[in-house]
C-alpha cells in the first residue's frame, strides 16, 4: 500500500466526532470542556473530599451545608430564565396563532430554568453512572481476556466452559441478572462492608452489587469482541512466536494479544457506549445513579418529559465523551500497518 493510501485510511478511522473538520470540532470540544469542568467541580463540591480538606485546614466552618443539601444546590440561578420565559410567553400570547415559534422559545427557556435546578442532583447521579461503567468495563476486561483466549486457544473443556459462560450471560436479560444478584442472592448483605453509596434504608452495597452484575454481563460481551479480534490475527504470528521457542502462552501474551486487543478497540468502544446506558438498569436495584435521580425528580415535579430531556443530554454527553476518548486511545496505540491495512501483501 502506498503512503497516500495509508493516510487516507488513518483519516477515516476513529470516532465520528473526532473526524469533524476544524471549526465544528472545536465547538464540540469546547462544549465538552465546559460540561466536564462543571461536572468535575460539582463532584468535588458534592464529595466528602471538600469536607476533609476544610477540616484538615482547620476551617470546618467553611462547610456551609450537609452533603445531601449541597448535591441539590444550584450554581446558576433559575429566575432569569424563568422571567425570560414569562416575558416571551406574554409576547407570544399577544401574537395569537403566529406566536408558535415564540412558544417554542418559551418552552426552551423554561427547560433551562428547570435544568439549572435539577442538574446538580443529576450530576451526583452521573458520578455513580460513571464509576459503575468504568469499573465494570475494566473488571469485565480482566475476565474477558482469559475467556476469549480459552475460547480460541483452549482445549475442549476450556472452550466449552467459556462458551457456556458467554452464552448463559448473553442469553439472559441483564435486568434479570441484576435482580437475581440483588434480590435472589444475599449478595447485598454479604457486601455490606464494601458499599460506596446509598443511605439507609437503601443498602449501601447496591452499587457494589451493580458493579458485580455489570462486570459479569460486560465480560461476556467483551469476550465475544475480543474473540473475533483474536481470530483475525494472522495465525503465522503465533507460529513465528513458537518457532523462536516461546510457549503457546508466551506467544499469546506477547504476540497475539497485543495485536488482537488493538483490533478489539472499536468493538470495545461499542460495549462501553452500551454500558453507559445499560447502567441505568441499576436504578431498579435502588442505586441512585443518573436515571434513578431523574425518575425521582419526575415523581416529585411531574415534569417527566422535561427531566428526561435533561437526563438525555447527560447521557449524550457521557457517550460522546466515551467515543472521543476511545478514538484517542485507538490513535495512541496505533501501529503502522496493523489493523486497517494489515491484510495487504
Give me the residues that bind another protein (CB under 8 A), please: 234, 236-237, 239-247, 250, 254-255, 258-259, 262, 335-338, 341-342, 344-345
Measured distance CA(218)–CA(220) in Å, rounded: 5
Q: Which is nearer to another protein, 145 or 294 (CB)?
A: 145
Q: Which is nearer to another protein, 130 or 233 (CB)?
A: 233
> Coil, strand or helix: which one is 307?
helix
> Could you give the count of Cα atoms lying within 13 Å of 277 in the half-sphere of its Cβ?
12
For residue 101, report the phi and psi dihedrals to the nearest 5 degrees.
Answer: -65, -40
C-alpha cell at 86: 414569562
Measured distance CA(225)–CA(263) in Å, rounded: 9
Alpha-carbon torsion angle 223, 224, 227, 233, nearest 10: -120
CB of 65 to another protein, least distance (A): 53
CB of 302 to another protein, least distance (A): 56
Measured distance CA(33)–CA(23) in Å, rounded: 15
Q: Which is nearer to another protein, 55 or 239 (CB)?
A: 239
CB of 149 to another protein, least distance (A): 17
Q: Which is nearer to another protein, 29 or 342 (CB)?
A: 342
C-alpha cell at 241: 512466536
Residue in 144, 142, 152, 283 with CA at minimum distance from that of residue 207: 283
CB of 242 to another protein, least distance (A): 7
C-alpha cell at 334: 496505533
CB of 336 to another protein, least distance (A): 4
C-alpha cell at 139: 473488571
Measured distance CA(275)–CA(221) in Å, rounded: 10
CB of 1 to another protein, least distance (A): 8
Measured distance CA(196)–CA(212) in Å, rounded: 13
Q: Which is nearer to another protein, 202 or 334 (CB)?
A: 334
Q: Which is nearer to another protein, 208 or 238 (CB)?
A: 238
Q: Which is nearer to another protein, 100 or 240 (CB)?
A: 240
CB of 322 to another protein, least distance (A): 25
State yes or no: cis peptide before 201, omega within 30 of 0. Answer: yes
Amino acid at each position: 500500500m502506498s503512503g497516500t493510501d495509508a493516510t487516507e485510511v488513518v483519516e477515516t478511522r476513529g470516532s465520528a466526532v473526532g473526524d469533524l473538520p476544524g471549526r465544528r470540532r472545536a465547538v464540540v470540544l469546547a462544549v465538552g470542556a465546559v460540561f466536564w469542568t462543571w461536572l468535575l467541580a460539582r463532584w468535588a463540591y458534592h464529595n466528602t473530599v471538600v469536607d476533609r480538606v476544610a477540616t484538615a485546614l482547620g476551617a470546618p466552618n467553611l462547610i456551609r451545608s450537609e452533603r445531601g443539601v449541597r448535591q441539590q444546590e444550584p450554581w446558576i440561578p433559575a429566575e432569569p430564565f424563568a422571567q425570560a420565559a414569562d416575558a416571551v410567553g406574554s409576547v407570544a400570547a399577544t401574537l395569537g396563532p403566529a406566536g408558535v415559534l415564540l412558544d417554542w422559545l418559551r418552552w426552551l427557556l423554561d427547560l433551562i430554568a428547570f435544568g439549572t435546578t435539577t442538574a446538580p442532583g443529576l450530576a451526583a447521579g452521573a458520578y455513580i453512572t460513571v464509576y459503575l461503567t468504568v469499573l465494570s468495563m475494566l473488571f469485565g476486561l480482566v475476565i474477558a481476556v482469559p475467556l476469549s483466549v480459552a475460547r480460541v486457544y483452549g482445549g475442549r473443556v476450556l472452550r466449552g466452559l467459556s462458551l457456556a459462560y458467554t452464552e448463559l450471560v448473553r442469553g439472559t436479560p441483564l435486568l434479570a441478572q441484576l435482580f437475581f444478584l440483588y434480590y435472589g442472592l444475599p449478595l447485598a448483605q454479604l457486601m455490606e462492608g464494601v458499599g460506596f453509596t446509598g443511605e439507609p434504608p437503601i443498602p449501601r452495597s447496591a452499587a457494589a452489587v451493580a458493579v458485580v452484575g455489570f462486570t459479569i454481563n460486560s465480560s461476556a460481551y467483551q469476550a465475544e469482541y475480543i474473540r473475533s479480534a483474536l481470530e483475525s490475527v494472522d495465525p503465522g504470528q503465533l507460529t513465528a512466536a513458537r518457532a523462536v521457542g516461546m510457549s503457546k502462552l508466551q506467544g499469546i501474551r506477547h504476540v497475539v494479544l497485543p495485536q488482537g486487543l488493538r483490533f478489539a478497540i472499536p468493538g470495545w468502544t461499542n460495549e462501553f457506549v452500551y454500558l453507559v446506558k445499560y447502567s441505568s438498569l441499576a436504578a431498579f436495584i435502588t442505586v441512585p445513579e443518573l436515571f434513578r435521580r431523574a425518575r425521582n425528580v419526575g415523581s416529585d415535579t411531574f415534569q417527566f418529559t422535561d427531566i428526561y430531556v435533561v437526563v438525555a443530554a447527560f447521557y449524550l454527553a457521557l457517550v460522546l465523551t466515551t467515543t472521543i476518548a476511545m478514538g484517542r486511545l485507538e490513535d495512541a496505540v496505533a501501529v503502522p500497518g496493523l489493523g486497517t491495512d494489515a491484510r495487504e501483501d
